[in-house]
Amino acid sequence: MAVTFSLVALFGLVLVSLLRSHSLTPGGAFTAAGFGFFLASTGAAAPINHMAAALIDALPNI
């Protein structure tokens, strides 16, 4: 749960910074957020969460 919230906050900050630097249009941000929202409701959500958790667990070993 804490990892998921942290990743959501991280991706949210990246989207906000891209919007502020005009590297991403509001339409593109809406599309990215919508894609993430709908991807989370598919069967791909569990493998993506497992992969993110594995990457986070591997970071201290690098």
Amino acid identity for residue 58 in this structure: A
Whether pLDDT at 9 is above 80: no
pTM for the predicted model, two decimal places: 0.54
Q: What per-residue confidence (pLDDT) applies to 4?
A: 58
| Whether pLDDT at 5 is above 60 | yes
Query: Which of 24-28, 41-45, 55-59 has the weakest average pLDDT?
Result: 41-45
Structure tokens at 31: 């599309």
d(CA 53, CA 45): 12
